[in-house]
């Protein structure tokens, strides 16, 4: 049975058992975030386009090339969110969340949309689990934000990654740096690829993202941001690094690390994983001290991270980490031909009321085919309704694991299943 339609390019369905793995890793992430004092926020999937234009920056790849922007029937320009930070700050300002105390520590999960060229680890709809701490410029909060994904990845059993950090300064120290870098790029322009020639004019910092070998070589002697930090930014960066040590995060300073969004100031970081190919950053983030102002609010610094969930799932698969125990169906209710459907449904509903995970046949299968289906669903028990037993108010209960079988009064069925499940738990526990 193959249909006519396919999921749009760069998007995919998340189906069982991957959907179950996703739930499990999210649950672990939420627990860690809540333990650190972060609370969930959900913002709309689309925003007024200006939120991203002003927030992320007019000259970024995201804003110039990758946004899904459309005019709605009222003539308003809307954009499917390409990331979660600008919307969270929009909500923070619109709803005066600072009045609930600062820093506001918020986390979110949801789909993001970027019209990038699809490849392994790069999709047009992907999911991020992210956190933002807004309203504090204490370097300790930067180090907390970097430590959370580190704790998360370790708790998931991941080992093969590096934490790279940099400081990209503030508006004061970045300006003279960009001037120096631009002058350098002008002198090296004959060695740069065409894209980098354009970047040199539009967004020179992004030049460090180029993967072309010739460009990397040409940039070996480029001036680097950390050498241009002003006194305050230097002190802030040194404190962040010191506190990362206190928190037990192993990091590497990477003076060429720049990020693809313009709102960053000072701290920038990424978690780079082995074996993921070109798209090897599973998490990225940093500080954004001017973002609130860019969105029309009062100055309020913030810092955050986002984990790319698809890349995280791939890293987990590669390392064989975080094995997930898939939930089992406790009981499948089968019935013999001619049995009243009402009675079957009553039994099914009563088992579910008893909080057992129960299912039944809805295809009119033969008993043999129902048993096969029960096995396919991974059921532990099958209840067979019908025949002589039913006339006596009883059913047959079969343990598919041990092949044991009992005749049980209907009123005792749930209790008997519970007992049998309990015995099994008892054995494995002790
Ligand atoms: P970002 O580096 O653009 O930062 O994205 C964060 C993570 O999302 C990346 O490291 C990657 O794992 C994942 N990701 C990004 N684009 C794609 C894609 N096309 N396909 C699959 N995964 C992708 C941000 O979005 C910032 N909002 C992070 C942040 C939060 N900064 C401060 N607070």
Q: For the segment 187-234, what is each residue's pLDDT rounded down to a tens digit? A: 999 999 998 998 898 889 889 988 888 998 999 999 999 999 999 999
Q: For the segment 386-409, what is each residue's pLDDT rounded down to a tens digit? A: 989 888 999 999 999 999 999 999
Q: How far apart are the CA of 283 and the centre of ligand 1, in A?
A: 7
Query: Please, which pLDDT band fits residue 426 given cuts at 50, 70 and 90?
Result: very low
Alpha carbon nearest to ligand 1 atom 31, residue: 285
Domains of the chain: 18-170+230-319 (3.30.930.10), 331-425 (3.40.50.800)
Provide mean pLDDT across the span 337-347: 94
Mean pLDDT across the chain? 95
Provide mean pLDDT across the span 77-92: 98
Q: For the segment 262-296, what is each residue's pLDDT rounded down to a tens digit? A: 999 999 999 999 999 999 999 999 999 999 999 99
Residues with CB under 6 A from ligand 1: 83-85, 114, 116, 121-123, 126, 128, 130, 132, 260-261, 281-286, 304-306, 308, 310-311
Give me the pLDDT at residue 111, please.
98
Give me the pLDDT at residue 427, please.
45
Alpha carbon nearest to ligand 1 atom 17, residue: 122
Give me the pLDDT at residue 423, please.
61
Q: How far apart are the CA of 402 and the centre of ligand 1, in A?
A: 49
Mutational pocket test of ligand 1: of 80, 104, 276, 311, the residue with most ligand atoms within 8 Å of the beta carbon: 311
pLDDT exceeding 90 applies to what percent of the chain?
90
Which H, E and C letters describe the chain, residue by residue?
Answer: CCCCCCCCCCCCCCCCCHHHHHHHHHHHHHHHHHHCCCEECCCCCEEEHHHHHHHHCCCCHHHHHHCCEEECCCCCEEEECCCCHHHHHHHHHHCCHHHHCCCEEEEEEEEEECCCCCECCECCEEEEEEEEEECCCCHHHHHHHHHHHHHHHHHCCCCCEEEEEEECCCHHHHHHHHHHHHHHHHHHHHHCCHHHHHHHHHCHHHHHHCCCHHHHHHHHHCCCHHHHCCHHHHHHHHHHHHHHHHCCCCCEECCCCCCCCCCCEEEEEEEEECCCCCCCEEEEEEECCCHHHHCCCCCCCEEEEEEEHHHHHHHHHHHCCCCCCCCCCCEEEEECCCCCHHHHHHHHHHHHHCCCCEEECCCCCCHHHHHHHHHHCCCCEEEEECHHHHHCCEEEEEECCCCCEEEEEHHHHHHHHHHHHHHHHHHHHC
Q: How far apart are the CA of 285 and the centre of ligand 1, in A?
A: 8
Query: Please, which pLDDT band fits residue 428 given cuts at 50, 70 and 90?
Result: very low
Does the pLDDT value for residue 1 go beyond 90? no
Give me the pLDDT at residue 211, please.
82
């Amino acid at each position: 049975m193959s249909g006519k339609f396919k999921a749009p390019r760069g998007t995919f369905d998340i189906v069982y058992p991957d959907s179950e793995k996703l739930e499990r890793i999210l649950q672990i992430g939420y627990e860690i975030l809540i333990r650190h004092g972060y609370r969930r926020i959900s913002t709309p999937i689309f925003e007024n386009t200006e939120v991203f234009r002003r927030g992320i920056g007019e000259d970024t790849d995201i804003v110039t090339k990758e946004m899904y922007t459309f005019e709605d029937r009222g003539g308003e320009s809307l954009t499917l969110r390409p990331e979660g930070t600008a919307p969270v700050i929009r909500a923070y300002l619109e709803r005066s969340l600072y009045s609930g105390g600062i820093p506001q520590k918020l986390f979110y999960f949801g789909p993001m949309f970027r019209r990038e060229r699809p490849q392994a680890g790069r999709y047009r709809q992907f999911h991020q689990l992210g956190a933002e701490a807004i309203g504090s410029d204490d370097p300790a909060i930067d180090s907390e934000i970097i430590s959370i994904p580190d704790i998360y990845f370790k708790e998931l059993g991941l080992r093969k990654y590096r934490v790279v950090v940099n400081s990209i300064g503030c508006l004061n120290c970045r300006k003279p740096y960009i001037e120096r870098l631009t002058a350098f790029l002008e002198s090296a322009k004959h060695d740069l690829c065409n894209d980098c020639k354009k970047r040199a004019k539009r967004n020179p910092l992004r030049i460090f993202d180029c993967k072309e070998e010739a460009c990397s070589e040409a940039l070996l002697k480029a001036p680097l941001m950390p050498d241009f930090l002003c006194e305050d930014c230097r002190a802030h960066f040194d404190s962040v690094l010191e506190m990362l040590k206190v928190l037990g995060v192993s990091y590497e300073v990477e003076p060429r690390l720049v990020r693809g969004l313009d709102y960053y100031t000072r701290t920038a970081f990424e978690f780079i994983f082995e074996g993921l190919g070109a798209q090897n950053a599973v998490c990225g983030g940093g500080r954004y001290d001017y973002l609130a102002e860019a969105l029309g609010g009062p100055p309020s610094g913030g810092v955050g991270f986002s984990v790319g969930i698809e890349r995280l799932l791939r890293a987990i698969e590669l390392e064989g980490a975080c094995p997930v125990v898939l939930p089992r169906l406790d009981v499948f209710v089968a019935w013999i031909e001619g049995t009243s459907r009402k009675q079957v449904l009553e039994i099914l509903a009563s088992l579910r009321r008893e909080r057992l995970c129960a299912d039944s046949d809805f295809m009119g299968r033969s008993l043999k085919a129902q048993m096969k289906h029960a096995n396919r669903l991974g059921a532990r028990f099958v209840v067979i309704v019908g025949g002589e037993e039913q006339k006596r108010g009883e059913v047959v209960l079969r343990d598919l694991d041990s092949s044991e079988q009992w005749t049980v009064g209907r009123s005792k069925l749930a209790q008997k299943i519970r007992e049998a499940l309990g015995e099994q738990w008892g054995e494995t526990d002790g």
